Chains A and B, each alone.
Chain A
Amino acid sequence: MKINNDFILRKINSADGELNVVIAVGKMADKLNGYLTLNGSALFLWKELEKGVKEEDLVNALLKEFDVSLEVAKNDVQSFISTIRNMGALDE
């Protein structure tokens, strides 16, 4: 699975602090009108998916990076993937 390259992540050093936002460009701009903000584990998972990764590897990576149980990691990964799949951001 990999993030579709019509979705780009940008770090903004704004007056309100660091913001990490995803914007759709190209034809996907009609699907995501505006932006999505990512923080914490969502930002981490997005960056892993930009490289291209399997779902199991994503869970393992999350476990290594964050102090959570396997159950929580699995749920987080599943719900994140489902969200971005619905956005059309996932190439599978």
Chain B
Amino acid sequence: MKGLYKIADLYVLIEYRYNYTKKFLESYLSTDNALPDIVLTVLDSDLEYELNFAEIKILDVVESSCILRKLAYEITTKFSGVLFHASSIAYNNKAFMFTAKSGTGKSTHTRNIKSVYGDKITYINDDKPIIRYFASEDKFYVYGSPWNGKHMLSNNIKVPLEAVIKLNRGDINKVEKESSLNALNFLLEQSYSTNDKEMAVKRLDVITKMLEKVKFYNLTCTKDASSSSITYTKILNGGIYEDK
């Protein structure tokens, strides 16, 4: 089966085998009459390779991970893009990416924000948003992707990146600016990469640019919905960076 998809402003022609994949990619299908920027074909060897990493060793499910791996490689090596393990939301046409070690509760936090601030907030992607850098505009954009986590929260939209937030769990709510070195650390940790050298170098190029242009925060907060107000005041509405 084949389909033309639009992901992160790129036309991707994907040749795949399983119906599960077809459903998985559905909301990113494109009806535009466009030439593909990227062509991906899932091969037997790709599926075999992916099985090594798969928790659920079912080929239907593994195929979409396979496509993710191949797509990430193309986007990073050719289109100045990086996939992050993060939960990303939009407010006032600005994108905010929440990163944390798995299990810390970034999805819980963004869900809390959404539950309190409702329509002011839009989900970009709850699990693997795609960031692309456009040199012509000297700007970063965050995009939704079909890899949107357990709760399947994402939209096929594009929003300029405003800030990246490292989330920690704690008993209090606290926000600070994050140092560039700490930011470098968690950007490296939470970005998708492989041992491929070209991909690693290009990924680093994007991350280097992010450190020059984007705001970084360190957020400690509790699990409940009230923690969303510190994020709303001090991050979404740019509190600390404006304080002198």
Binding site for B on A (CB under 8 A): 6, 8, 10, 12-16, 19, 21, 23, 25-27, 29, 34-35, 37
**By the criterion CB–CB under 8 Å, are A14 and B212 in contact?**
yes
**By the criterion CB–CB under 8 Å, are A14 and B211 in contact?**
yes
**By the criterion CB–CB under 8 Å, are A26 and B197 in contact?**
yes
Indicate if B47 sits at the interface (CB-CB under 8 A).
no
CA A29 – CA B197 in complex, angstroms? Answer: 9
Q: Shortest Cβ distance from B167 into chain A, in angstroms?
A: 19
Option from B195, B204, B212 in Cβ contact (under 8 Å) with A13:
B212
CA A13 – CA B184 in complex, angstroms? Answer: 12
**By the criterion CB–CB under 8 Å, are A16 and B201 in contact?**
no
Residues of B within 8 A of A10 (CB): 204, 208
Chain B minimum-CB-distance residue to A15: B180
Indicate if B104 sits at the interface (CB-CB under 8 A).
no
Option from A12, A13, A34 in Cβ contact (under 8 Å) with B185:
A34
Residues of A within 8 A of B93 (CB): none
CA A27 – CA B216 in complex, angstroms? Answer: 29
Q: Shortest Cβ distance from B77 into chain A, in angstroms?
A: 13
Indicate if B41 sits at the interface (CB-CB under 8 A).
no
Residues of B within 8 A of A25 (CB): 197, 200-201, 204
Residues of A within 8 A of B188 (CB): 23, 34-35
Indicate if B108 sits at the interface (CB-CB under 8 A).
no
**By the criterion CB–CB under 8 Å, are B195 and A12 in contact?**
no
**By the criterion CB–CB under 8 Å, are B197 and A12 in contact?**
no
Give 26 A-B contacts (CB < 8 Å), ordered by A residue: A6-B197, A8-B201, A10-B204, A10-B208, A12-B180, A12-B208, A12-B211, A14-B180, A15-B177, A15-B211, A16-B179, A16-B180, A16-B181, A19-B180, A21-B184, A23-B188, A23-B200, A25-B200, A26-B195, A26-B196, A26-B197, A26-B200, A34-B185, A34-B188, A34-B189, A35-B181
